[in-house]
Structure 1
């Protein structure tokens, strides 16, 4: 192996370690790799920057905008209202998968999961079911749907672009649909018949007494001078029976009262209470109380405000900080009204609460600050109650524009990047984005990752590392024909995806897959398809795919839960792929 190949291999190993450790952001890791490739002369300056003008990078950015239009216009709300009527947990799991898998073929997976996580949590809370029974199948279904179309996930677009760079014809928008639909059906059946028995069955330990509804948030409410609760005790007020809220502590100044239920309430007392936000709000209005966190800050003017739910993200800088130390109010002008932590009842003042990954914060924010808040990687905005109306006209416009983009691309009237850009512009003109700035809402980490990591594929080819890997792989496979080589490519891609994510693994593997195909005298297209499917269906770890990471904390999973459910599912998909790929993309077409 020559020096360029050794240097490229060292950079790949370093990148894999950094991706897996999550100590640095994925886009920063990609930029470091890009800089090293250029400084070491492994790629020319023009090749180093080519990734940012690549069709895949541009198309992914435009598809993010289209997905945002679908999400923000309220096009999913009728489906959400329908799912909210479900009472049985197993039926909710099935309905969620059947709804999300088709949507995942056209809508960004992270946006889908972020939209449906609050819904799933509400239904699980109502039916007293562990969210762990629902959230993992939901995340897996989003991946299964994403692989069904060329535009369903960024790794499919990336695989198509890299394949064309190797002289292969472009894939059609729906070319993956037949195989993707069959795998999705098999995956849903597995999750309903086998996977459900492997999912954890734990539920929250701190439940109210039988017959009562479990509260979601803990907040602080201050008694005003005209509150009807003045002079009464918490026990006399019967808050749980009358309002469905549950008092946890009584705070008077800096003191915690030694007998909160029997203590007579006075003006200025702060009640630490737990409940659903709607019931807490009703209790606050009827009892003449104030949101204590909000009264600490003065509002500027009469700007419209909205309620939002935001989850503390994995590897967030907020983890371990007390709420008062986070400076969220000063950075975004937001007020944290309440906190929900799965499996725990918080009994501290909100300002003294140390945040943990997975905590859900109920925020009161000015509308114009929400785009900046959504762009903050420390938080995942789960839902918003907006002042801006989500009209049926905007929802229909968003759906019609997305359908037009898909149709125009499928019929080859316009290239996919051009169709997607035109669709994004049309959604902006139709007001599908509301007042939110699409640039602020874009997932720029993924865009930068794609642009910066693509030159690594060029370095793999130029340095000769690709041929060295192919020679080693073929020596391992031996003379067992193209099917054995296809299985090797699939499994190697699946392994790399669990370690470093789906997009980097596609960049590493497409060129290698094409070389393996030439080594066994087969058409490279089925090998590229294997890379695309293996990369887009990452089930074995919570870090292999962003949707897995989101539900990992919201569902209270352990790392091994993903392995128990995901590894058999990967094995099932691999076995089915070895049958279906040669069927739909023959090794020797035309024979």
Structure 2
């Protein structure tokens, strides 16, 4: 293997480590990969920029806009109202999966899960059932639905685009549907009959984490008439009296070195942790006030509601401090407290950098609730019904989405052109606001696709794919194309759990095609194996964004995904080894 091959391998290994560690954002990792390939001379500048004009990148951006139109127009509201009537958790789980799987074939998975998570949590609270019994199957169903069509997930579109670059015919919009439906039905049956016994069984139904939900950290200012003035934290015995636990005593910008023995004075700020109800009792009983709230009280709307917001996966707010989120100037909202899964925060609220899964307790104007619910940076976990939208917008959105699907399925228009026309039509019809589309597109995914696609060219140009194929044959031996297909599927599934589905597709499609050519069989079934294995990531909470979302909202442990997801992956793998050669033969008739 040439030095370019070794260099490409080194870049891939480093990228995999960075993707798996989540130390850097996925789009930044992709840009670093792109820069390394150009600097090393493995791809030319023109090839390096080709990913941003690739059909898959353009189509995914347009599909984000279409999905946003479906979500914002209120199409899903009748379904959510119907599901709210269900009282039994197992029936709710089944109903959610049966609703989400078909919708996932056409609507962005994250938007679907974000829409139905608050509903599922409300029903779980009402029936005193753990959300962990419901949310994971819901996330899995979204993935099962996404793989049923070519436009259901970005990895399918990416696999199709890369396959065409290798000289293969384009996949049809519904070419994956036959196999996808079989897998979805089997997967739902497994989750209802078997998976439910593997899920956590704790009965605490509070949100979002079972064992210490509501352990918020907040700032309380000591007023002049407070009963705490002149006493120390140790003397006040806050834990015994109120169930609230002090973390820090702040005086101005200074942290007191010995907070438990320091005498409390008017104007001091206590950083405390506890259930919000107990914090409120403590605030009233001790004569304190919410420090963030008092700072903006003069601008507050009298009609305000308390809202729990979770920082969504891929949120642009990740890494930002509260004052940088724009919650105050966009929604007139005041962040009162913050909760972080598995960590005890000891910083002032204004100094905390937000992370995915953080839950904010926010005081917000009632008039701003509609806009806040449409903000994809957050997931609203409050018990509050959404405002009804204009019905005719929903019909416009459904008609436009149907036209996109039909026109691309019948080959009247190519998928990118149909998606772009559909996005423009939704904008003209008012299915979303003029600025909403730019906020609704997940630009991290777009940058990731554009920057990571040239890696496939590097794998081919450097000879790395040939080397990897020869290594694979050392494992497969002379056991035929089915053994090669199994190797491709399992390797794709493993890499997806480590580094995500889109980078894995870029890495594996070229290898899959090379394996097929080396075995003198049609490469189409091998590309299908890559697409299906990458789009059904069940074993870890980081392999797919919907898994990450319910991981925080449901209070799961990492091993919960492994217990439920690994058997499901093995079932899908076995079914795929049987179905793929049936639908896409190794030696198709001429």
Q: State the TM bucket, normalised to the shorter chain.
A: 0.7 to 0.9
CA distance in 2, matches of 1:81, 1:488: 45
**Superposed displacement of residue 354, structure 1:** 10
Shift, 1:553, TM fit? 1.0
Paired with 1:434 and 1:385, the residues of 2 have a C-alpha distance of 23
Q: 1:107 to 1:322 in 2, by over 3 A?
A: closer
Give the secondary structure class of the aligned counterpart of 2:335.
Answer: strand
Counterpart CA distance in 2 for 1:26 and 1:320 is 14
TM-score by length of 1: 0.80
Whole-angstrom CA distance in 2 between matches of 1:76 and 1:410 = 24
Q: Which residue of 2 aligns with 1:17?
A: 17
Answer yes or no: is 1:32 the counterpart of 2:32: yes
State how 1:362-381 maps to structure 2 within 5 Å.
Answer: 362-363=361-362, 374=375, 379-380=378-379
Shift in CA distance, 118/197, structure 1 to aligned 2, threshold 3 Å: same
Q: Does 1:441 align with 2:440?
A: yes
Corresponding residue number in structure 2 for 1:541: 540
**Pair 1:131 & 2:131 matched:** yes
Q: Aligned residue for 2:167?
A: 167
Q: Does 1:418 align with 2:417?
A: yes
- Matches of 1:34 and 1:306, distance apart in 2: 46
Tell me whether 314-323 or 91-100 shows the greater mean CA deviation.
Answer: 314-323
Contact 2:219 2:336 in 1 (8 A): yes
Q: CA–CA distance in 2 between the matches of 1:324 and 1:441?
A: 22
1:490 & 1:17 partners in 2: Cα distance?
21
| 1:503 aligned onto 2:494 | no
- Retained in 2: the 8 A contact 1:324–1:352? no
Per-residue deviation, 1:474: 1.1
Partner residue in 2 for 1:232: none
C-alpha distance 435-456 of structure 1, shift in aligned 2 (>3 A): closer
- Greater Cα shift, 66-75 or 388-397: 388-397
**For the residues of structure 1 that align with 2:40 and 2:374, how far apart are their CA atoms?**
38
Match for residue 210 of structure 2? Answer: none
- Secondary structure at the counterpart of residue 160 of structure 2: helix
Q: Distance in 2 between matches of 1:521 and 1:500?
A: 30
What's the offset of the Cα at 1:183? 0.1
Distance across 1 between alignment mates of 2:506 and 2:531: 10
Number of the residue aligned with 1:193: 193
1:186-205 Cα deviation digits (max 9, x unpaired): 00111111111111112339
Give yes or no for contact 1:522–1:587 (8 Å, CA) kept in 2.
Answer: yes
Q: Report what 2:553 is aligned to.
A: 554
For the residues of structure 2 that align with 1:158 and 1:322, how far apart are their CA atoms?
A: 34
CA contact (8 A) 2:292 2:335 kept: yes
What is aligned with 2:231?
A: none
Q: Please state if 1:177 is matched with 2:141.
A: no
Q: 2:499–2:543: 8 Å Cα contact kept in structure 1? A: yes
Q: Is the 8 A contact 2:370 2:387 kept in 1?
A: no
Superposed CA deviations along residues 263-286 of structure 1, whole A, max 9, x for unmatched, are xxxxxxxxx9857xxxx9xxxxxx
Shift of 1:563: 0.6
CA contact (8 A) 1:306 1:387 kept: no
Q: Which deviations, in whole Å up to 9, do the C-alpha atoms of 1:330-381 show, x marking residues without a partner?
A: 79753125667889999x99889998863433445685996999475xx556
- Secondary structure class of the residue paired with 2:310: strand
1:518 aligns to 2:517 (yes or no) = yes
Shift of 1:318: 8.5
Partner of 2:72: 72
Which residue of structure 2 lines up, in the alignment, with residue 108 of structure 1?
A: 108
Q: CA 1:442–1:146 in structure 2 vs 1: closer, same or farther (change >3 Å)?
A: same
Unaligned runs of 5+ in 2: 208-212, 222-241, 251-273, 281-288
Gaps of 5+ in 1: 208-213, 223-246, 255-271, 281-289
Change (3 A) 1:188 1:206: closer
Aligned-partner Cα distance in 2 for 1:318–1:429: 29
Q: Which residue of 2 aligns with 1:257?
A: none
Task: Name the structure 2 match of 1:63.
Answer: 63
1 CA distance for matches of 2:569 and 2:313?
24
C-alpha separation in 2, matches of 1:411 and 1:206: 48
Tell me which residue corresponds to 1:473. 472
Name 2:260's counterpart in structure 1. Answer: none
**CA positional deviation for 1:309:** 4.8
Return the offset for 1:396.
1.1
Which region of structure 1 is more displaced relative to structure 2, 80-89 or 328-337? 328-337
1:96 aligns with 2:96: yes
TM-score normalised by structure 2 residue count: 0.80
Which residue pairs with 2:239 in the alignment? none
Partners of 2:182 and 2:43 lie apart in 1 by: 40
Kindly state the Cα deviation for residue 395 of structure 1 after the two structures are TM-superposed.
1.0
1:437–1:86: structure 2 CA closer, same or farther, 3 Å change rule? Answer: same
Distance in 2, matches of 1:325 and 1:447, equals 23
Deviation at 1:434, TM superposition (A): 3.9
1:392 is the counterpart of 2:391? yes
Please report how far the alpha carbon of residue 384 of structure 1 lies from its aligned counterpart in structure 2 after TM superposition.
Answer: 11
Cα gap change, 1:355 to 1:402, in 2 (>3 Å): closer
Return closer, same or farther for 1:164/1:121 CA change in 2, 3 Å cut-off.
same
Equivalences for 1:201-220 in 2 at 5 Å?
201-204=201-204
Cα 1:373–1:80, aligned 2, differ >3 Å: closer, same or farther? closer
- Over 3 Å counting, the alpha-carbon distance change for 1:582 and 1:316 in structure 2 is closer
User: What whole-Å deviation, never above 9, does each CA across 1:550-584 have from its counterpart, x for those lacking one?
Assistant: 11111111111111111110000000000000000
Pairing 1:335–2:334 present? yes
Superposed displacement of residue 385, structure 1:
7.3
- The superposition leaves residues 491-527 of structure 1 with CA deviations (integer Å, 9 ceiling, x where unpaired) of 0100110111000000011111011011111100000
Task: Identify if the C-alpha distance between structure 1 residues 2 and 345 changes in structure 2 by more than 3 Å, giving closer, same or farther.
Answer: closer
